[in-house]
Structure 1
Amino acid sequence: MLRRLRENGPVVLVPLAWTFVTAAHLDLVALRTVLIAHLVMDAIIVAFTVVSWRDMTQGVLRAWKLVLLAGLGATLAGTAGLLASPPVDPLLSLTVVAWMLIPAAGLAYTGQHVAEAPWVYSVGALLSGAGAVVYAGTLLVGLPAPGLLAGLTLANVGQTAGIVNAVYQY
């Protein structure tokens, strides 16, 4: 059962995480809830990485182990930003952008190294990377919130497509 959860869980967790981040940007969840979510994500990433460590030693899976490790660093940075009083908004924004770019790199690598539907990963990487550009650009230029939501949506769609394809193919 644990193996099945490990193999199929991300297909639910990835879009759920991005939907939650979007809800947080819309002020639909309290800052304390966001902190709790970060702590839960920290724990899930650590547990998933530890349980999967031996299976992720080479090829595409090794690349995704690196994604998890880098992503854990980004999530811990976001957790630290949320624990500060007041919260450190630039650190939180960097966490979001990191979670757009790190999986985009994993998706791009996967698209170059798998035989089954590699284009899905490549398109997912492009969408997630474009999401990072739109999101960061919106922040830097000071555009209205719809730009942030567009960036979040692009990352959500791109990363969800990649994980759905991975679960379906393998």
Structure 2
Amino acid sequence: MLVPLAWAFVTAAPLAVVTEHTLFIAHVVMAVLLVGFAATGYADMREGVLRTWWRIIAVGSVLTLCGVVGLRLEPTNVALASVALFGWMLLPAAGFVETGRRVNEGTWVYAVGTTGCLLGVTLYAVGLIWGVQTSMVGGLALVGFGQTAGIFDAAIRY
């Protein structure tokens, strides 16, 4: 449930439903959870596709820490916050590609996850550049949907 909740929370940001301070707190909580998961899950995630996902969690921990620092600085360091956001929009796509390559059935779910990430980040970036909030929110929703589909299937499969 953390993946859809995290993306719902992030999607609320361009709608001004959450403040930057709230985003900072969320990043701190996620960083702690990710680092803890990477540390405790390593023994069980050393082979196959789980190793790929462990690496994504480890790199994602660094991305999230970039967000923590970026949101903590006054004024907000947009570059560091963007590393966290765009990194998390794209990083799981690599895991979905690898997972789809390794499974024998249900590969379409990982194609959906990958497509959601890639189309979502594109839509978000276009909205950010052109100042179109609807595009930004739609992009975040696509990423969230794609990643939720992929992680849900992986959770029930493994």
Fold shared per TM-score above 0.5 = yes
Taking the TM superposition and a 5 Å limit, the aligned residue runs for 1:62-73 are 62-73=51-62
Query: CA deviation digits over 1:110-156, x for unaligned, max 9?
Result: 111112311101221111111111112322x3231111111101100
Q: What is the one-letter code of the residue matched to 1:145? A: Q
How far, CA to CA, are the matches of 2:78 and 2:17 in structure 1?
A: 17
| In the alignment, structure 1 residue 147 sits paired with structure 2 residue 135 | yes
How far, CA to CA, are the matches of 2:17 and 2:31 in structure 1?
A: 22
Which residue of the partner structure matches residue 14 of structure 1? Answer: 3
How far, CA to CA, are the matches of 2:74 and 2:58 in structure 1?
A: 27
Displacement of 1:89 in angstroms is 2.1
Which residue of the partner structure matches residue 85 of structure 1? Answer: 74
**Structure 2: unaligned runs, 5 residues or longer:** none
| In the alignment, structure 1 residue 76 sits paired with structure 2 residue 94 | no
Displacement of 1:70 in angstroms is 1.2
| In the alignment, structure 1 residue 61 sits paired with structure 2 residue 56 | no
How far, CA to CA, are the matches of 1:95 and 1:162 in structure 2?
A: 20
Taking the TM superposition and a 5 Å limit, the aligned residue runs for 1:120-159 are 120-139=109-128, 141-159=129-147
How far, CA to CA, are the matches of 2:76 and 2:130 in structure 1?
A: 19
How far, CA to CA, are the matches of 2:97 and 2:77 in structure 1?
A: 31
- 8 Å CA contact 1:97, 1:135 repeated in 2: no
Which residue of the partner structure matches residue 90 of structure 2? Answer: 101
Q: What is the one-letter code of the residue matched to 1:149? A: V
| In the alignment, structure 1 residue 46 sits paired with structure 2 residue 17 | no
Which residue of the partner structure matches residue 7 of structure 1? Answer: none
3-state DSSP of counterpart to 1:25: coil
Which residue of the partner structure matches residue 161 of structure 1? Answer: 149
Percent of aligned positions that are identical: 43
TM-score where L is the length of structure 1? 0.88
- 8 Å CA contact 1:97, 1:136 repeated in 2: no
How far, CA to CA, are the matches of 2:21 and 2:95 in structure 1?
A: 30
Query: CA deviation digits over 1:6-59, x for unaligned, max 9?
Result: xxxxxx000000000011221111221111110000000011111110111111
Displacement of 1:167 in angstroms is 1.9
How far, CA to CA, are the matches of 2:154 and 2:74 in structure 1?
A: 40
How far, CA to CA, are the matches of 1:143 and 1:25 in structure 2?
A: 11
